């Protein structure tokens, strides 16, 4: 959430910045409601002061045995107006908060202004595209003989976009997750296992609501409305909801493995079948609570951690600093790390790292205190470290052999009992 004081001070400048991310951004409603609320609150305070003054006068008149009916009528009139204004504020304040909450975070000044993702700046390229001396296959074609996933049975259970991992597919997925968790823990990150459902105020705090209400899965019963998390970022951001952290505890650098759930999947074309875009996928998430002056350093660290994982897996990738119009809603600066998938002949994001500055902490009221000073909003950062579904595709497609087998990256072999290769199954994969 943006600071309304900043908007009041520089409305034209802030609106211009917002429009570099969200072209239809308009501050008129926010400013109108803010002005109405402040005027009504000022009037209430004035009336209450006058009412208190009159109450003192009435008490004095009564002590003297004098008539106070006239002043009592004035007090009652003030009371009626205060009650009316309070009822109007009860309606205005949620409307104002909703309008403010629909505004994205402001991009940092060093982010390129553009609405065209083609103008994202490639800041690093590692490795090279694989060269095949044989007709290569995409991961769906490879799966016909490797028997790693079952998309038809997944569709039978839950509908399209919900894959089932089986046999060595399940083991390879688990190896990936353990490899990434071990990598982060060795680098000093604390591991968490959070719930995969969160309350409305928690998912609001991360910036998913109200803007992306239609993209969330909800769990409804007679007592609760809970949301399935689209990323562990949502749950980790909520750990210190409405709390004040001591300055000396920061930064806090965490990781968490969770399944992630997104309704937005499934609207893409034929190229994005299989594991490319699904409703449920596994991810190891990096998250940090930081002092404002340290968040840029942690941002670079997160990018480096995600890149190191891909290098450990010997996968060709590129890193791109996103332009304003391609950034996440809550992000002030974002780098996407994209791995090359031969079967699609293009790069796909496997990690997105964002510095969200104080946007999420303001929504979640998560603050820190320097000694005895007034609490301040801290900075939050998040990054995929990494998401496995497309990573799985990259491993299969980049490491395929002429006979349909797939070489397992050396980094994953200790998690698979030393296994070096996924081999073609003799039995029918439908069994």
Active site residues: 262, 277, 349, 352, 390
Q: DSSP assignment of 266-329, as one string?
A: T-S-GGGTTTTS-SEEEEEEEEEEE-GGGHHHHHHHHHHHHHHHHHHTT--EEEEEPPGGGS-S
Q: Which residues pair with 226 in a beta bridge?
A: 219
Q: Measured between alpha carbons, how far is residue 163 from residues 166, 230, 280, 398 in Å?
A: 10, 17, 8, 21
Q: Which residues pair with 383 in a beta bridge?
A: 286, 353
Q: Measured between alpha carbons, how far is residue 201 from residues 32, 197, 239 in Å?
A: 25, 12, 12
Look up residue 32 and give its two tokens. Answer: 């109108």
Q: Exposed, middle or buried by CB within 10 Å (0-12, 13-18, 19+), for 413? A: middle
Report yes or no: 290 and 251 within 8 Å, Cβ to Cβ: yes
Mapped onto helix, strand or coil, the DSSP state of residue 156 is helix
Look up residue 269 and give its two tokens. Answer: 């074309």
Q: DSSP assignment of 45-73, as one string?
A: HHHHHHHHHHHHHHHHHHHHT---HHHHH
Q: DSSP assignment of 68-130, as one string?
A: -HHHHHHHHHHHHHHHHHHHHHHHHHHHHHHHHHTSPPPPPTTS---S-GGG-EEEEEES---
Report yes or no: 30 and 100 within 8 Å, Cβ to Cβ: yes
Of 200, 186, 143, 133, which is closest to residue 392 (Cα–Cα)? 143
Instruction: Classify strands 149-150 and 164-165 as parallel, antiparallel or unpaired.
Output: antiparallel
Instruction: Classify strands 252-261 and 190-192 as parallel, antiparallel or unpaired.
Output: parallel
């Amino acid at each position: 959430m943006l600071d309304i004081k900043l908007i009041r001070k520089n409305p034209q400048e802030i609106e211009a910045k917002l429009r570099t991310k969200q072209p239809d951004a308009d501050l008129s409603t926010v400013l109108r409601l803010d002005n109405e609320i402040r005027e009504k609150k000022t009037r209430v305070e004035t009336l209450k002061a006058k009412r208190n003054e009159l109450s003192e006068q009435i008490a004095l008149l009564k002590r003297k045995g004098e008539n106070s009916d006239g002043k009592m009528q004035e007090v009652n009139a003030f009371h009626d107006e205060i009650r009316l204004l309070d009822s109007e504020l009860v309606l205005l304040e949620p409307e104002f908060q909703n309008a403010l909450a629909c505004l994205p975070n402001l991009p940092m000044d060093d982010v390129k202004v553009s609405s065209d993702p083609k103008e994202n700046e490639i800041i690093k390229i590692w490795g090279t595209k694989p060269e095949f001396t044989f007709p290569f296959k995409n991961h769906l074609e490879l799966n016909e003989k490797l028997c790693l996933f079952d998309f038809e049975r997944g569709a039978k259970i839950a509908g399209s976009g919900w894959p089932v991992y089986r046999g060595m597919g399940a083991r390879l997925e688990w190896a990936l997750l353990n490899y990434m968790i071990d990598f982060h823990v060795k680098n000093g990150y604390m591991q968490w296992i959070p719930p995969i459902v969160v309350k409305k105020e928690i998912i609001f705090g991360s910036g998913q609501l109200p803007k992306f209400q239609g993209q969330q899965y909800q769990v409804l019963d007679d007592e609760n409305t809970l949301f399935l998390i689209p990323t562990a970022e949502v749950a980790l951001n909520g750990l210190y909801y409405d709390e004040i952290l001591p300055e000396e505890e920061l930064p806090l650098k965490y990781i968490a493995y969770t399944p992630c759930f997104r309704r937005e999947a499934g609207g893409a074309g034929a190229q994005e079948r299989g594991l490319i875009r699904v409703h449920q996928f596994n991810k190891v998430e990096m998250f940090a609570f930081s002092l404002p002056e340290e968040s840029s350093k942690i941002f670079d660290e997160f990018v480096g951690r995600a890149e190191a994982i891909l290098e450990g897996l010997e996968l060709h990738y590129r890193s791109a600093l996103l332009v304003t119009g391609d950034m996440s809603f809550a992000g002030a600066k974002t780098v996407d790390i994209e791995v090359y998938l031969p079967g699609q002949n293009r790069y796909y994001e496997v990690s997105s790292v964002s510095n969200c500055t104080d946007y999420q902490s303001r929504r979640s009221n998560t603050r820190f205190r320097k000694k005895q000073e007034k609490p301040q909003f801290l900075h939050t950062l998040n990054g995929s470290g990494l998401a496995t579904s497309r990573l799985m595709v990259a491993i299969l497609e980049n490491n395929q052999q002429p006979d349909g087998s797939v070489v397992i990256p050396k980094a994953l072999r200790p998690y698979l009992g030393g296994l070096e290769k996924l081999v073609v199954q003799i039995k029918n994969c439908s069994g």
